[in-house]
Amino acid sequence: MPAKLDLKKDLKHLYNPSAKGISVVTVPAMNFLMIDGMGDPNTSLEFADAMQTLFPLAYSIKFAIKKETGQDFAVMPPEGLWWSDDTEDFLQGRKDNWHWTVMIAQPDFVKKSDFVAALDAVKKKGKAPAVDKVRFERYDEGDSVQILHIGPFVTEHDNILKLHDFIRSSGHQLHGKHHEIYLSDFRRVAPEKLKTVIRQPFC
């Protein structure tokens, strides 16, 4: 039986950066389960529905592949892309105007057909409220800077500015969307102990 795959460990440089300094990485193209939406993640039912949908779908894919092929893999942490039509909305925390994509990375051996089969299985159980909004897509982020943020989401601002300043002082420009990887379960972990990878692509 193949060894259990854990992309978080295999891609440790992407999913376990230092909290003490900025690291420069090149993120490879990866497959994701994705759901798009807009609004304050703290109050948006759309956001809550998206999060409640991704995990059942990810686990359905995992269990189906293990049953069929014997290949097991760890379900990855949720991630979020964030942006706004007006950059100041994002920087000033005007969350009602934020656009977002929540997503979970999938191993390369997960195919579109696996995704479609899992969608049908999850729909039948009726416990994934945003199942009709999920897509399976390859996302190519490329050159990026990142840092590990420890603490509540409301204190991320300084680390975000550090990334932006680093990019500009290096002669580059911000490119793409603000990216967060949620290493802690924010439903169960105290805010001051939350661990979040903050990433910003550049060109």
DSSP state string for the chain: -PPPB-HHHHTHHHHS--SSS-EEEEEPPEEEEEEEEES-TTT-HHHHHHHHHHHHHHHHHHHHHHHHH---BPPPPPEEEEE-SSHHHHHTT-GGG-EEEEEEEE-TT--HHHHHHHHHHHHHHT--TTGGG-EEEEE--EEEEEEEEES-GGG-HHHHHHHHHHHHHTT--B-S-EEEEE-S-TTTS-GGG-EEEEEEEB-
The pLDDT value given to residue 127: 81
Given this model, what pLDDT does residue 96 score? 86
| Whole-number pLDDT of residue 109 | 96
Please state whether 79 falls in left (phi above 0), alpha (psi between -120 and 50) or beta. beta
Flag whether pLDDT at 90 surpasses 80.
no
Higher confidence at residue 31 or residue 88?
A: 31
Q: Which CATH architecture has domain 7-201?
A: Alpha-Beta Barrel (3.20)
Burial class (CB in 10 A: 0-12, 13-18, 19+), 40: middle
Average pLDDT over residues 100-121: 97
Count of positions (residues) in the chain? 203
Tell me the pLDDT tens digit for each residue of 55-68. Answer: 999 999 999 999 99
The predicted model scores a pTM of 0.95
Whether residue 87 has pLDDT greater than 90: no
Sorted by where each begins, the domain ranges of the chain are 7-201
For residue 142, report the phi and psi dihedrals to the nearest 5 degrees.
75, -145
**1-55 tens-digit pLDDT:** 678 999 999 999 999 999 999 999 999 999 999 999 999 998 999 999 999 999 9
- 8 C-beta neighbours (distance < 10 Å), count: 17
Q: What is the mean pLDDT of residues 152-156?
A: 93
Q: Are 27 and 142 in contact (CB under 8 A)?
A: yes
From the list 199, 197, 179, the residue with the least C-alpha distance to 82 is 179
